[in-house]
Each structure stands twice: as structure tokens, then as C-alpha cells.
Amino acid sequence: MIKLNIIIFLLMSLLGSSGALRWNTTATTVLSSSQILSPSGMYIDSSNTLFVVDETPNAVVWKLLYNAGSATNVAGVYQSISSASNRFNYPQDVYVDPSGNIYVTDYYNYRVQKFASGSSTGTTIAGITLSGGSGLSQFNGLRHLTADSNGTYIYVTDYNNHRIMRYSTSSTSGTNGVLMAGNNGAGNSNTTLYYPWGIHYLPSVSNDLFITNYYGHTVMRWTPSASSGYFVVGVPGVSGQTPTLLNYPMGVKIDTYLNIYVADTSNSRIQLFCANSQTGITIAGTGQSGNSATQLNAPESVAFDSAMNLYVADAGNSRVQRFIKL
């Protein structure tokens, strides 16, 4: 009986972490090239509303209600690039807090813009407009962001400074951020980041940040403010297409079982790494770029709705794809 209980426990553990994680490999397009040109970061709120950044030349954030036929522009001015408070220059990622406020990383304006719920004008809560640098109040090219469960703090990948910074969502332009990881130059060691791109924080599951190193071809797990992290996916400095390797990864997400989902951008696939495994499973895309319903072309980010349906920013095909959870 004891042996049987152990076997049942192990089977339940496996099913909980990976066995039930399957998606239809044929996607449906929820946003097409008729509206979106360069999908980048995405966020899905508790109502299954999708927010997606349209990087360039549109430079806006689209809002798509679940199963709606078209999206509406909720931040930025369509195809108008500038440093004005209601515009962007190469926006990258988006987060929406429980109150409906929208936060956008604005790469070439070196700032994070906050749009109060219902407002079309943003305020700078991190960084200084058009002032790139390495000070604690500055960014040098910012990519993705994530937040704690209450939307009190955001965590930003400061790409060219090879670090992760934390800011209060109520801070103002010029406020010093708090260093969370990196800032030791570029590298493939456990004390450095190498052009960090994607980031995810799910404090209900883990106190650690999960970070992609774009040029390092890895995912790191890093406790905030620790002097070092450790590699959980990929081989530092080695790119490839085998199940244990990544090729210029961008977006990353974790789930409640600590499974890791990676937009393996240059391999045109989405990889699932089950908890404590360094061998990936391709759950979307074929590993070869293409524009069919089963293929992807340079996917930049992933997101999940409440039913664990998978959304992919299929940047090279100018579309957002949805893969239904089976």
C-alpha cells in the first residue's frame, strides 16, 4: 500500500506539472497584419482582455476584448513617433495593474510611461525622457517589464546596462530605481546578465525573477537584490536548436507549477521547460520559420488567458496567434 501511494503521488505530480500541458498545434489568428505590424510584448488581464504592443511603425498599444473581431488603440498615437507624453518611440512591453492603469516600456525615450485608466496621456514613472544612461534613475534601452501581485512595483529589463531595476508604480521621472540583478557588465557568469530581454515574476509561486539573456541564449532565475542567480534553461553562450538549447530568446513566462515558457525567437518556436527540467518541449511552431497556422516567424513574447490558452506575438508574420489548450 505504501508503494502504491508513492506511485500515485509521483504520477499526480507529473500530471500536475507537465502531463496535462498540451495545446492544439494549429493556431487561430486573433490579430492580423491588417491591423498590427510588429507585435512585441503582451499582457492578458483577469477578464481575458489582451493588450499588445505594436512596436514600429505603428507605435501603439492595442486592446482586444476576448473573441472580439478588432482591437482598439489605448496608448500612443498611431504611426506618430516622438517623445511627447502621449507618444512612444519603439515601445516594447505592456503591463496593466488591477486598477486598469497601463504601463509601457518606451525604448528610445528611455522611460516607462503610465497611462491612468481611461487616459490617453502618459506620465513618466521611471527613467528620464531622452536621457539614457547608467545612473539609478536612467535606462539604456529597456525591454520587458513585470510586476508584483498587487501592482505596487514593476521590474524592468535595462537591456544595454545588463541589469534589472525595480520602481514603484507611483514614482516619478528621475526617481532612483533599486537594483535587483546584474549591473556587473555583460557576461555568461552567474553574477552577470547578457542583454536581458524577457522577465517574469510570479510571487505567489516563487520569490525569484525569471530572466532571458538574449545574447547569452539562456534563462536565469534570480532572487531580487541577490548578488548572483543561476541558469535554469540553455547553455550559457551557446545557441542551437536541440531541446536543451535556445537561440536568442526574448519573452518568458512561468506558471503555477514553475514550468517555464520561452519565446525561442530565432528558432521560431515556443519551448516549454517543465519544472526542474532543462530539456524543452516544443508546444508551438515547428522550429522552421513560416506563415502557416502551425508555424511561427521570430516570435517575441507569450501570454496565457485564464483557460491557459497560449497567445504568441508572431512578430515576423505581423500577427498574434492563439493556440487552444487541450
**Average pLDDT of the segment spanning 198-225:** 98
Q: What percent of the chain has pLDDT above 90?
A: 93
User: Is residue 83 helix, strand or coil?
Assistant: coil
Contact 92, 107 (CB under 8 A): yes
- Summarised one tens digit per residue, pLDDT across range 100-116 is 999 999 999 999 999 99
- Summarised one tens digit per residue, pLDDT across range 145-160 is 999 999 999 999 999 9
Distances (CA, A) of 111 to 125, 147, 194, 210, 281: 8, 16, 21, 22, 36
Q: Among all chains, which residue has been given the C-alpha cell 521611471?
A: 126
- pLDDT: which is higher, 19 or 8: 19
pTM of the model: 0.94
- Summarised one tens digit per residue, pLDDT across range 243-299 is 999 999 999 999 999 999 999 999 999 999 999 999 999 999 999 999 999 999 999
Strand 28-31 relative to strand 319-323: parallel, antiparallel, unpaired?
A: antiparallel
What DSSP string runs through 96-128? Answer: E-TT--EEEEEGGGTEEEEE-TT-S--EEEEE-
Contact 236, 188 (CB under 8 A): yes
CATH number of the domain that residue 81 is part of: 2.120.10.30
Contact 207, 244 (CB under 8 A): no
24 — pLDDT class (breaks 50, 70, 90): very high
Distances (CA, A) of 311 to 7, 30, 184, 253: 35, 9, 34, 12
Q: Among all chains, which residue has been given the C-alpha cell 486573433?
A: 30
Enter the C-alpha cell of residue 41.
Answer: 510584448
Distances (CA, A) of 297 to 34, 36, 106, 129, 289: 17, 15, 24, 32, 5
Residue 204 has pLDDT above 70, yes or no: yes
Residue 15 has pLDDT above 70, yes or no: no
Mean confidence (pLDDT) of the chain: 95
Residue 35 has pLDDT above 60, yes or no: yes
Contact 104, 87 (CB under 8 A): no
Give just the sign of the alpha carbon dihedral 263, 269, 272, 273: negative
Stretch (H or E) spanning 51? strand 50-54
Say how many C-beta atoms besides its own lie within 10 A of residue 291's C-beta: 13
- Summarised one tens digit per residue, pLDDT across range 150-190 is 999 999 999 999 999 999 999 999 999 999 999 999 999 99
Enter the C-alpha cell of residue 113.
Answer: 510611461
Predicted local distance difference test score (pLDDT) of residue 2:
45
1 — pLDDT class (breaks 50, 70, 90): very low
Predicted local distance difference test score (pLDDT) of residue 19:
54
Q: What domain range is 108 assigned to?
A: 2-323
Predicted local distance difference test score (pLDDT) of residue 20:
73
Residue 12 has pLDDT above 80, yes or no: no
- Summarised one tens digit per residue, pLDDT across range 124-151 is 999 999 999 999 999 999 999 999 999 9
**Average pLDDT of the segment spanning 50-78:** 97
State how many domains the chain has.
1
